Structure 1
Amino acid sequence: MSFFKIKTSWSNAEFILIKLCMASAYILIGSYFHDFFDNYYAILIVIFIITVIWFVYQWLKKMKSHSDLPY
């Protein structure tokens, strides 16, 4: 259960990825109900997948680097 107790520090630049990830998910959900973004499904899905993979990679890398430190 120590997984939930690990604290990490994030810079503003690192938050850009999660913001892009969430924004593309919101637009995908919104475009399901409106035809305005209908032509952009492929682009939004690609942005979403890339940002999710990139964010998870950075998160795991940061968690691993902090787990090496003694508490």
Structure 2
Amino acid sequence: MNFFKMKTSWSNAEFILIKLCMASVYILAGSYFHEFFENYYAVLIVIFAVTAIWFVYQWLKKMKAQKH
């Protein structure tokens, strides 16, 4: 059984707790390691921009494929 191909029927509202959990850990790690990551802001911004553009492209591609 492939874990990554499993389908779930959760609504967006049901994901609020996991999103809050992950966001709080990210904020905690970011505040704790602020000085460590300070030297890597440019790299992190580039990684964020590339992955955000790639995600939006994949999402739009999938939405367009569902219309046909």
TM tier, smaller: 0.5 to 0.7
What value does the CA root-mean-square deviation take over the aligned residues?
Answer: 2.4
* Corresponding pairs, count: 42
Cα distance in 2, alignment partners of residues 66 and 56 from structure 1: 15
Give the TM-score normalised by the residue count of structure 2: 0.53
Amino acid corresponding to residue 37 of structure 1 in structure 2: F
Cα distance in 1, alignment partners of residues 62 and 34 from structure 2: 38
**Structure 2, unaligned runs of 5 or more:** 5-25
Runs of 4+ in 1 over 2 A off after TM superposition: none
SS at 2:47's partner residue? helix
State which structure, 1 or 2, has the greater radius of gyration over its C-alpha atoms.
Answer: 2
Cα distance in 2, alignment partners of residues 63 and 53 from structure 1: 15
Matches within 5 A, 1:13-32: 26=26, 30=30
Deviation readout 1:16-42 (Å, 9 max, x if unpaired): xxxxxxxxxx48x816x7211011000
Question: Which structure exhibits the higher relative contact order, with contacts defined as CA atoms closer than 8 Å and separated by 6 or more residues?
Answer: 1
Cα distance in 2, alignment partners of residues 34 and 45 from structure 1: 15
**Structure 1, unaligned runs of 5 or more:** 1-11, 13-25
